[in-house]
Amino acid sequence: MFLKQRGFFAFPINIYKLIKQDINYKVINLERFSIEMDIEICCLKLIEQNMYIVSLYRSPQGNIDSFFHNFEQAMKELLIKNAMVAICGDFNIEMTALRSQNSIYFSNLLKSLNLNCTVKTPTHINSCIDNILVNFTNNLYYISSLEGHFADHISHVMQVYRDHRGEPSKNYNSGCNKILIRKQTENQINLFINLLKYEKWEMINRFNSGMITVDVLFDNFFKHFVNLWHYCSPLVSKSNKCRVKKKKVQWYNQDLAKEKDYMLSLYNVYKNLRDSRSEHALLAYNTYLGCKRNYRSELKRAKRQACESYIEAAPNKCKAAWEIIKQENSSGNSQAVTLDPKRINDFFLNSVHQLSNSIPPTNTSYYDLLGDRSVPSETFFWQTVEPNEVEKITAKLSNSKSMDFYWMSNYLVKKTIPFIKEPLTFVFNKCLEFGYFSDLLKISKVIPIYKKGDKQLPQNYRPVSIVPIFSKILESLMHKQLSFYFKTFNLFTESQFGFRKGRSTTTAVMNIVNYSLNAIDNKESVALSLLDLSKAFDCVPFSIILNKLHFYGLSKHSCMLINSYMTNRKQYVSIQRKNSPVETVTIGVPQGSVLGPFFFNIMINDLPKN
């Protein structure tokens, strides 16, 4: 393929023609990241070697900011696959002597992506502007220069070493041997905090000057925050070998071991006396039985105390209790599981579409089902939020270190929120004011959780989503205002017990019991219909939610933010650090989100009156 440039020479990156016919490869489409002159890129994957080879060119006359953005997005799409990556390109950016802001920024960007420059010497006159970037260690390759005399750039040849089976070296950071991670140690977080303390957040000044719009404001703020974190915590390789899982509760101790040894010694004494027909054999046997009963009692006591302590110390006591139950019921014979993340993701998405398409069409509109609901006297508008409110909502997040798509966790954001609450509040307020919810916050990381049955079948797993942490904060701010509005005007039916403060399944059962007792006292009949909604959250149409919210009094401008929140959502499945491609979600309220349960309540709110 050739990427034509208007007014310039045609720069060839025809790497496909250079592959031997006996090498199994696949063309990877990165065309959406290519912008003529700014960044021209193509890629292929060597199947057996699990290696991506990228060819790239940036014109000196191109837009450098556009290059940085598209280069970063393209690399993240490749690096998330945990494979070897080599980027061969003419970057037209000085790589060794960091003389300019662009060179420094690009160097920091490469560090955050864990990409290393393999060429350290000048490639064009006195500048090193051509390079081969890799994400694997230098003991796996050898670089040599080649004076071709047909161009004014020095060519370089990279030899990548393989073992005798044609597989990557065991030192390489992919597959089941190695995985890529970002650590969340105190040193890295403190370094991150120090950078945030002195950050000027220039995009806010540019927005106030009318130079950028709200979408650019948020995206620049968020990307800069993420890039700073990636700079402080570069990708590192970690062993991904299968290990035998330790039991959750360790209760057997040295005192019990000594008690067991003493019991066994008493049994040996009894056995010897019995074999020798001693008159003391019966006394020895009774002594052994007494010790055995005491040992069993101590075992139960130690195990009970350890389980109680484990549950008491757990942040989620219900989850901890179920972990102990599963541990006790486990057979110990684990089934070898080889799940393909793409297959699981396709199943999660396609099963929802199949179920949604199987629902018979109806001419009934949402308005017909609202009955005689009264319209609130006031219209809902988003209100500005204060920095302390943002900080308090963030503090309510769990201390989980589970990372989202951007390698950020609740734990990390809670540590850093005091140093970004002012600019973050400004950016959030502009999102509320202009009705903008960034696409950067709509990428969910889905972890499949086993339910029951054959572990090889996708239908035996349920999806658990991890949404971007900043999305949780903004959603919580929106949820607080919406909940207050619905409570003020009593818009939720009294029959709705799910996902509401002060109500639960317990209060729902109590309501049913009281209703039934009253009916019995009045000599009336009672009938209870129970419905199990399959994929309830996943099948909710966006349009019905928006129409009902508008009916309940939300202004068109307020609905614009919710429409922005619901559309163009994406997800990918992650299994043991192996990730599927990112796919678009076209129906349903977001799983794992703050607003998802609230919107589901909106969907079913009027069922009791119809």
Q: Tell me the pLDDT tens digit for each residue of 401-441.
A: 999 999 999 999 999 999 999 999 999 999 999 999 999 99
Rounded to whole angstroms, what are the CA distances from 336 to 282, 300, 333, 494? 51, 33, 9, 48
Alpha helices in 126-234 (DSSP H): 186-197, 202-208, 214-232
Instruction: Dump pLDDT digits (tens) for 511-567.
Output: 889 989 999 899 898 888 888 877 777 778 888 889 889 888 999 999 999 999 999
Residue pair 397/410 in contact (Cβ under 8 Å)? The answer is: yes
Secondary structure of residue 437 in the 3-state scheme: coil
Longest dimension (CA), the chain: 112
| CA-closest candidate to residue 607, choices 525, 492, 483, 509 | 492
Q: What is the assigned CATH class of domain 2-174? A: alpha beta
Q: Where are the domains of the chain?
A: 2-174, 254-328, 341-382+435-609
SS3 labels along 267-314:
HHHHHHHHHCCCCCHHHHHHHHHHHHHHHHHHHHHHHHHHHHHHHHHC
Q: Which residues touch 34 (CB under 8 Å, ≥6 apart)?
A: 3, 40, 41, 42, 70
pLDDT of residue 54: 93
Whole-model pTM above 0.85? no
| CA-closest candidate to residue 571, choices 562, 561, 582 | 582
pLDDT of residue 471: 96
Q: What is the mean pLDDT of residues 317-335?
A: 72
Instruction: Dump pLDDT digits (tens) for 59-116.
Output: 999 999 999 999 988 988 887 766 789 999 999 998 877 778 888 889 888 887 888 8
pLDDT of residue 518: 92
Pick from 54-68, 149-163, 166-180 the range whose average pLDDT is largest: 54-68
Altogether, the residues listed in the chain come to a count of 610
Instruction: Dump pLDDT digits (tens) for 348-378.
Output: 999 888 888 888 887 777 777 776 667 777 8
pLDDT of 125 > 80? The answer is no
